[in-house]
Structures are given as C-alpha cells and as structure tokens.
Structure 1
Amino acid sequence: MNAPADSAQPDAANSHETRDDEQMQVRRTPRYGAFMAIGAVIGAVAAWLISSAMPPSTDANGTPVDTSPVLGLAIVVGFVLGVAVGGLVAWIIDRSLAKRARTVTVERTEVREIETDALADEGVEAGSAQPESPTADARPAEDDRPAEDDRPRGA
C-alpha cells in the first residue's frame, strides 16, 4: 500500500514519531438497534394477527362490541415486547461471540508535525509562546459595533 506521489509526507526534521505495540481484543458484535427494530416489527405484526384472529366480542345482550381500542393496545404491547425480546436475543448472541474473541498485537504510530514555517511567517520565534497581542487603541470590528437601532436614543 504505497501512498500517492502527491501526498504530503512528514519531513523527518519537522516531525516527531512515536510507535507503541499494544494488545487488543478483536471480536464481532451484533447491531442491537437492528435486532430491536426487527423484534418491534415482528411483535407488532404478531399482536395484530392474534387480535384480528379473535372472534368478535358481544355484550350481555348479544350485540357486537367495538374492540378497536383493544387492538391498538395489543399492537403497542407487542411492539414493546418485541423490542425487549430483540434486545435479549442480541445480548445472547453478543455473549456467545465474546467467547470467540481473539487477542492481537497492534502497532500504534503517532506522528506530530512541528510547524516551524507557520510560526516564522507570523514573526514568532520557535521558543516564544504567542504572537504579539493587538494594540489597546484598536477600534472594534464592524460586526462588534451595535447597530443603529440598538444604540441608546437621547431624550
């Protein structure tokens, strides 16, 4: 994997490079959100099918009773239970995949460039902290001045 010829390579004189070897664990994990979303849809559809398959209700006189509020409640309960079951399934899969985790050695490289050119352009020596501060009698920028409507009016 070679870098393109036009990419900027850090100059050895102007950069500081640190390399560390670290031990890390690599494993696969399920996407909890996907499991919970699928569980929600399956739970809501299952609740709708069960509620729709029930025979129509009748009161004591034998007249049919509207059960649509019960259908809505059943769909909401199925949705919530589906989310819970989907999360539980994802957690069980996550625990089983954790047993297959592998430990690998990785090399971490940190490169910090020293910006001597930018400091030289501002007239700052390499050892000084900050460039010169603005003078005290400098006027505020146009955006910092209050608008005509914001200025206090005379009596």
Structure 2
Amino acid sequence: MKNIKTIFTYMVVGDLVAALSISCKSNEAPETQALGETSSNHPSEGTYTNSSGGSATVIINNGICTITGKGTDFYDNNDSQPFSITVTKWWYYYGTPNDLFAGSPYEKSEATINFPTEDYFHVFYNRIGDGNLFISFGPEGKRYDTYYLN
C-alpha cells in the first residue's frame, strides 16, 4: 500500500511540474520577427553637397565610416552647427535594403555620435540613384539638417 501512495505522490508531483512548466511557457513574451538587419555598405568617400550650400565629408578607414559636416537650423539658415558621426554598421528594413539608417533612433545600427551629443541624431543614406545622404540632429525643440546631399 505504501508503494502505491509513493507512486501516486510522484505522479501528482510530476503532473504539477509539467503543468507549471507549460503555464510559465505561456507567460513568456512571444519572439518577435526581425524587421531588418545591419549592413556595412558605406557611402563612397568624398564630399557630398546640395544646391543650398550644405556639405558633408565621408571618410572610410578600416571599414569604419566617419561623416563630418555642418547642419543648418530648419527655421533659420543663418544658424548652423558642426557634426560628426562614426558608423560601423547601418540598419535597413527588409524590403528596402538600399535605404540605410544610423544614429540614435536606430539602436541596431552601430554608430557613435561624436558631436554634438544632442537628443537625437539621424543619418539616412540611399545606396542607389544619387546616393543621397541626409543628416538631421538637434536638441529638443531645435532641428539641424543637411537636407539631401549627393
């Protein structure tokens, strides 16, 4: 009789452990599907300009891209500020692999904002067509842009 009670106890404990493991598994966050991935396709070295007088210089050294230049206040063309960002890997979304992003809103890009270290810093690079670069940065309430450079 004692063996039956022991076997029964082990069965109950085993069922409880199985039930708890199933219950715990159902509370885990579902795995999210990746929306994109990183790329090391940097813009070509050189100076990029636009018709408004904006410019940025791209230097590639050991597979690392540094972009320096000057952004103009979105509302006041007389107000400008220098910038520098170093990009190791760009982020792109599946479906648009030629539109590459780096900076603070793209945590999966690998970039270091050298200066200014403001609230946000966004870089967009289009690998096809004109090979446009667009840089936007600034503290809250202010926005500096390079507009589209090629």
Whether TM-score is above 0.5 comes out as no
Q: What band does the TM-score fall into relative to the shorter chain?
A: under 0.3
Greater helix proportion: 1
TM-score by length of 2: 0.21
Which structure is richer in relative contact order (CA contacts within 8 A, separation 6 or more)? Answer: 1
Rg: which structure is higher?
Answer: 1
Greater strand proportion: 2
